[in-house]
Amino acid sequence: MKAFRLDELEAERAANEGAYLQFLRERNMSVGLYALNAGEHDPQKPHNQDEVYFVVSGRASITVGLETTEVARGSVVYVPAGVAHKFHHISEDLRVLVVFSPPES
């Protein structure tokens, strides 16, 4: 078993001064913590993997392809591989668990 605490993951991510911390990588998936602060720009480009976002905290909008929705704590968003997507209008610091399948390369 592998178990993680969000507060420890956030501390590790912040210590590495990056917006993304991959903390689990297995044969069929990888999982990371993505952080964007209020007002920040999301620099993402489309990925080669399917993704699921689970919003742990914060508030923003996300556009996936041509569709836009608001997200907040508890929101879950699926993004198919190769589709353009970005968080925007980030009004509260955003912390998101990201599951990639297959694992992010």
What pLDDT band is residue 47 in, cutting at 50, 70 and 90? very high
CA 30 to CA 104: how far, in whole Å? 6
pLDDT over 90 percentage in the chain: 98
Q: Is the pTM of this model over 0.85?
A: yes
- The average pLDDT across 47-69 equals 98
CA dihedral sign, ordered 50, 104, 6, 64: negative
Helix (H, G, I), strand (E, B) or coil at 14: helix
State how far the alpha carbon of 19 is from the alpha carbons of 23, 64, 98, in Å: 13, 20, 12
pLDDT confidence tier of residue 46, bands split at 50, 70 and 90: very high
